[in-house]
Structure 1
Amino acid sequence: MKSTILPEPLKPGDLLRVITPSGALREFKAFKQSVEIWRSRGYRVEVANDIQHNWGYLADKDENRRHQLAQAWEDPDCRGILCARGGFGSTRILENWTWETNSSTPKWLIGFSDITALLWSLYNAGISGVHAPVLTTLADEPDWSVERLFNWVEGRPLPPLKGCGWGGGVVTGFLLPGNLTVATHLLATPLLPNLDGVILALEDVTEAPYRIDRMLTQWRLSGALAKIKGIALGSFTRCEPPANIPSFSLEEVLRDRLADLSIPIVSDLPFGHDSPNAALPVGGLVTLDADQGILTLMSKE
């Protein structure tokens, strides 16, 4: 369990750079609408010239996407990095990657889904990012979710989130939010953070119950779940069983694989794929109340 450095609050006029570290951009209308949301708040948003490139299912070749990330991270005028979308590919650019933390002021990194790998890697470097909508999803968020994101990056406190408590008491720890599929593929790699004492926050999309079962079983067998203090579960969107095939429900799988861990668990929290996707600080100190079903951010330290 570790504390992280929180970047300085953003303010109108700050420069933000848009990158595509993962999949190729496809939702151009939603992307432009989301960029406009940031610009309407007074931010200067610089979109990379190669934003519409693709290399197969990736936004570009690894070296080009890695260069795009490096340019944004090392730019002294840039205060934040907005990820265009998820998909797949961020883990590929993290091979032989080191976050430069000496010559540049820590800046905001904002995204979710495949961006989990970047957020967790940055957490390893001691810097807090934001698990929050990317630029192909922000425009579809409800007003309160959009405001929550801006409140956090602009230095204002966040209200608690309410879900369904499974019982097990109250625990405090550093929050590590991410996508279950991406996080599972970080197991047994140098990118996996130290999980001792963290509160793990997980979500996913379009994964059948047996696949969720398989991933959570891998977490169990790896020993990783024995280290954490609590689990916060967000939305598992379109994770229904296949038609006409015998299956457990998603709820049954989650209960079967997690309920016997004897740690506080809260489910049905409003974050993940599809709306709403409430912003969560990576490495933020939080309290998880599994009796009341509440996740509360405790500190900005």
Structure 2
Amino acid sequence: MRRWQEVHLNTQNPKPKVQPCQPPLPLQKGDLLRVIAPSGAMRELEAFYKGIDVWRSRGYRVEISPGIKQRWGYLAGTDEERREQLKAAWLDPECRGILCARGGYGSARLLENWEWDTNVTPKWLIGFSDVTGLLWSLTHLGISGVHAPLLTTIAIEPEWSIERLFNWVEGHQIEPITGKGWGGGQVTGILLPANLTVATHLLGTPIQSDLNGVILAIEDVGEAPYRIDRMLTQWRMSGALSQVRGIAIGRFSQCEAPSGIPSYTVEQVLSDRLGDLGIPVVSNLPFGHDGCNAVLPVGVMAELDGDKGILNTVLTL
């Protein structure tokens, strides 16, 4: 069994450089997957159980962690309760993958006093949105998670998107995705997907990695254009955007300005804040909230073609 790099989330340590990550061993039918709720309180129960059915129909055993319907304010239980779900799933020798129930907010609180046990066989971690922090923290160990639909969203994905997810976790190469190229040529780098709001609040924390050599893939939901502007301006002023090699832009849904208030559109903000960086940028890619959420492997090598508008993962499992 491979021993993964020891990582301690110490604020005194320099930001670790993102290295190409290794996906866990491919899943096989009959494998056990455990469900956790690391973030917001459960609300979409019908969609949640439909999501479990998607995985079970593929031949996987799916076990729901005890206490997943707990509520502690807007969180799915206290920090300790949610941290215990993550710990139990991570340490379970039979468990091959961890399915996140929903997003919302709260995973960053789990990471405040968290260390991954590196003496276990790596597991798949699958989710997006607020799960961004967990996915980023796993890259510090050299483990690739999956930026992919949550249990509350997977059942409404188009068939090709669901098949793309299973292709990746079962050990097959996935097809490139295409969007609108802004120019800038081609670049190869380490793919780091993120919800923009969550990632912005990770800047300057131990979860943020050195972004040199990274292709940053961003999406968001429910943020007014001025808030998108404010976040991207922070990325610019902090120097974070000067480090990345390319930017892949997914869906920014429900990001319209309030009625009657003068505003740029979110598309204008993205163009203004990202269009002058002198690096390849591709927008309108099919990932994010409120629509098709194509799987993006985290921490693997990828190619971004800013002229043709193509994002392609390089690594074959």
- Bin of the TM-score, shorter chain as denominator length: over 0.9
Superposition pairs of residues 28-177 of structure 1, within 5 angstroms: 28-101=45-118, 103-177=119-193
Deviation at 1:113, TM superposition (A): 0.3
Coordinate RMSD, CA, aligned: 0.8
Find the aligned partners of 1:249 and 1:47 in 2 and give their Cα distance.
Answer: 41
Aligned to 1:188: 204
Q: Are 1:265 and 2:281 an aligned pair?
A: yes
Equivalent residue for 1:238, pick from 236, 243, 254 = 254
Find the aligned partners of 2:293 and 2:92 in 1 and give their Cα distance.
Answer: 29
Aligned to 2:7: none
TM-score, with length taken from structure 2: 0.94
Aligned to 2:309: 293
Question: CA offsets per residue over residues 274-299 of structure 1, 9 Å max, x none?
Answer: 22000000011110000000001111
Deviation at 1:79, TM superposition (A): 0.1
Aligned-partner residue type, residue 203 of structure 2: L
CA contact (8 A) 1:172 1:287 kept: yes
Find the aligned partners of 2:30 and 2:196 in 1 and give their Cα distance.
Answer: 35
Find the aligned partners of 1:266 and 1:258 in 2 and give their Cα distance.
Answer: 10
Segments of 5+ residues of structure 1 without an aligned counterpart are none
Moved over 4 A (4+): none
Deviation at 1:124, TM superposition (A): 1.5
Find the aligned partners of 1:197 and 1:300 in 2 and give their Cα distance.
Answer: 20
Aligned-partner residue type, residue 42 of structure 1: G
User: Structure 2 vs 1, CA of residues 187 and 85 (structure 1 numbering), >3 Å: closer, same or farther?
Assistant: same
CA contact (8 A) 1:284 1:300 kept: no
Aligned-partner residue type, residue 9 of structure 1: P
Question: CA offsets per residue over residues 84-140 of structure 1, 9 Å max, x none?
Answer: 000000000101211112x21111000000000000011122110000000000011
Count of residues paired in the alignment: 300
Question: CA offsets per residue over residues 52-105 of structure 1, 9 Å max, x none?
Answer: 11101000000111111000001110000000000000000101211112x211
Aligned to 1:208: 224
Deviation at 1:300, TM superposition (A): 3.2
Q: Are 1:6 and 2:23 an aligned pair?
A: yes
Find the aligned partners of 2:156 and 2:280 in 1 and give their Cα distance.
Answer: 31
Equivalent residue for 1:227, pick from 223, 230, 243 = 243
Segments of 5+ residues of structure 2 without an aligned counterpart are 1-17
Give secondary structure in 1 for the equivalent of 2:276. helix
Question: CA offsets per residue over residues 164-208 of structure 1, 9 Å max, x none?
Answer: 000000000010001000000000111101211100000000101
CA contact (8 A) 1:20 1:85 kept: yes
Find the aligned partners of 1:64 and 1:300 in 2 and give their Cα distance.
Answer: 36
TM-score, with length taken from structure 1: 0.98
Aligned-partner residue type, residue 186 of structure 1: L
Give secondary structure in 1 for the equivalent of 2:97. strand
Aligned-partner residue type, residue 165 of structure 1: G
Question: CA offsets per residue over residues 8-59 of structure 1, 9 Å max, x none?
Answer: 0000000000000000110000000010110011100000121111101000
CA contact (8 A) 1:285 1:300 kept: no
CA contact (8 A) 1:169 1:290 kept: yes
Aligned-partner residue type, residue 29 of structure 2: P
Q: Are 1:19 and 2:36 an aligned pair?
A: yes
User: Structure 2 vs 1, CA of residues 100 and 300 (structure 1 numbering), >3 Å: closer, same or farther?
Assistant: farther
CA contact (8 A) 1:6 1:300 kept: no
